């Protein structure tokens, strides 16, 4: 068998090839991961709940099948974000309310991944109910950024991003409402993608057509991300918004060599401040599309209503999904969650109607924008990783924010207009911290997005900078 360290550094696509050829077994991979978790987890707190025994039981059952029947992932281990139910495994949602919760049934996404040969071996850390882009909670504590363990890993899929960046995972599941796949990918130097609404089926909770939040893939590079998106995609009758799988795989799309003809870059989407160093790094990365013959221009759609619209629709989502907990368990909820729910309960019908109309108008303007551009590029986060003790970002470039989510406007604006988007590592700050470039495509155009991301990833030459051992202070990548 290939050495353990070499396996930790291998790409997910290479690992699946080794599984299919018989060079390694799913049990070998679980052994490698268990050793790696023992080495680094205590320094970062990314995977607080482990279920290796369950994963080995599933692996042995999978190995009884012929190789051709083991699914797309062929026995690839995957951690699930702790917001998503896994049968028989502690699932806390980062909340003291659920610190002892053992679901009797898995989410349909978990069932789908397991059907495709995925092995669930851990739950990744998340803030309480995924609220807030800093991964800490009262059950497990804070997840730390491996590039500098005194800093935040962002969130809410922070545990997933850190597991990837430190070699405790080859692929990871996450979810995204206001950038929760994109923010931690940016802070940790990995790739995180918010797919189109319905691309990944999941079990509906509280409302049958909730669509601000979606499930999605994280990985260390674009090809691996596309592989996991293929394994996640497909319709399910329990999720009426879910889309059928496409005839051409996303991995094939990533490898297609497709090139955008015209791309737009915006440092701020016209709605947010941005750290000057972040703007400079992302602008220079976007400009390199010109090396592939693309026209690169500074432009963005009109998204001026994004803050008001998202504030209302997010609050409404919290009200319909968490109001009962506010009534019965208020003392166990963190202040930010209480604020979200109470803001939702105060909403009038007029406010909701206005927000929904704003979303329709912004989506229409964005579709019109994409008649002229193939991709839209922005910073994935407007700041670099901040001290882990700070609950959220209070100001940027001299501007103070009104609430704890406003600093996420550059990503939640894209959520509102229903576009697939990913964060691609695009450079490092002077102090050695990773910066992500948000890449956005029209709705349901994940194939074009992945092809463009793979192209720029090749041009930038940053692929392979993870996994790393956790560092107490930042160090420039080699």
Positions marked active-site: 81, 156, 180
3-class secondary structure for the chain? CCCHHHHHHCCHHHHHHHHHHCCCCHHHHHHHHHHHHHHHHHHHCCCCEECHHHHHHHHHHHHCCCHHHCCCCCCEEEEEECCCCCCCCCCCCCCHHHCCCCCCCCCHHHHHHHHCCEEEEEEECCCHHHCCCCCEECCCEECECCCCCCEECCCCCHHHHHHHHCCCCCEEEEEECCCCCHHHHHHHCCEEEECCCCCECCCCCCCCCCCCCEEEEEECCHHHHHHHHHHHCECECCECCCCCCCCCCHHHHHCCCCCCCEEEECCCCCCCCCCHHHHHHHHHHHHHHHHHCCEEEECCCCCCCHHHHHHHHHHHHHHHHHHHHHHHHHHHCCHHHHHHHHHHHCCCHHHHHHHHHHHHHHHHHHHHHCCCCCEEEEECCCCCCCECCCCCCCEECCEECCCCCHHHHHHHHHHHCCCCEEEEEEEECCCCCEEEEEEECCCCCHHHHHHHHHHHHHHHCCCCCCCCCCCCCCCCCC
């Amino acid at each position: 068998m290939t050495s353990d360290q070499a396996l930790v550094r291998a790409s997910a696509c290479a690992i699946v090839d080794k599984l299919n050829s018989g060079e390694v077994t799913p049990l070998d991979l679980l052994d490698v991961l268990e050793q790696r978790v023992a080495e680094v987890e205590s320094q970062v707190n990314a995977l607080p709940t482990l279920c290796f025994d369950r994963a080995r039981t599933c692996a042995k059952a999978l190995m009884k099948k012929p190789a051709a029947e083991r699914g797309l992932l062929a026995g690839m281990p995957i951690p699930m974000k702790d917001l998503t139910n896994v049968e028989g495994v502690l699932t806390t949602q980062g909340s003291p309310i659920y610190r002892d919760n053992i679901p009797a049934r898995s989410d349909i996404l978990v069932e789908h991944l397991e059907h495709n040969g995925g092995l669930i071996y851990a739950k990744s850390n998340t803030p309480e109910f995924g609220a807030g882009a800093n991964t800490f909670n009262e059950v497990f504590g804070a997840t730390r950024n491996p590039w500098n363990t005194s800093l935040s890993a962002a969130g809410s899929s922070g545990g997933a991003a850190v597991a990837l960046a430190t070699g405790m995972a080859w692929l990871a599941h996450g979810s995204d409402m206001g950038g929760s796949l994109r923010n931690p990918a940016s802070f940790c130097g990995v790739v995180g993608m918010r797919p189109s609404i319905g691309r990944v089926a999941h079990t509906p909770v509280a409302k049958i057509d909730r669509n601000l939040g979606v499930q999605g893939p994280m990985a260390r590079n674009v090809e691996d991300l596309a592989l996991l998106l293929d394994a996640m995609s497909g319709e399910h009758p329990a999720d009426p918004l879910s889309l059928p799988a496409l005839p051409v795989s996303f991995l094939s799309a990533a490898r297609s060599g497709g090139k955008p003809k015209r791309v737009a870059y915006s440092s701020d989407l016209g709605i947010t401040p941005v750290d000057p160093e972040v703007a400079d790094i992302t602008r220079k990365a976007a400009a390199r599309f010109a090396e592939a013959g693309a026209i690169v221009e500074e432009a963005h759609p009109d998204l001026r209503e994004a803050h008001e619209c998202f504030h209302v629709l997010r609050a409404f989502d919290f009200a319909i999904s968490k109001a009962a907990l506010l009534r019965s368990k208020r003392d166990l909820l963190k202040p930010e969650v209480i604020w979200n729910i109470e803001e939702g309960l105060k909403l009038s019908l007029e406010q909701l109607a206005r927000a929904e109309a704003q979303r329709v108008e912004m989506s229409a303007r964005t579709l019109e924008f994409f008649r002229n551009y193939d991709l839209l590029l922005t910073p994935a986060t407007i700041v670099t990783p901040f001290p882990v003790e700070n609950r959220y970002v209070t100001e940027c470039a001299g501007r103070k924010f009104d609430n704890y989510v406003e600093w996420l406007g550059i990503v939640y604006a894209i959520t509102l207009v229903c576009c697939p988007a990913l964060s691609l590592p695009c450079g490092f700050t002077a102090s050695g911290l990773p910066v992500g470039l948000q890449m956005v495509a029209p709705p349901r155009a994940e194939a074009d997005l992945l092809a463009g991301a793979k192209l720029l990833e090749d041009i930038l030459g940053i692929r392979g900078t993870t996994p790393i051992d956790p560092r107490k202070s930042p160090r420039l990548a080699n």
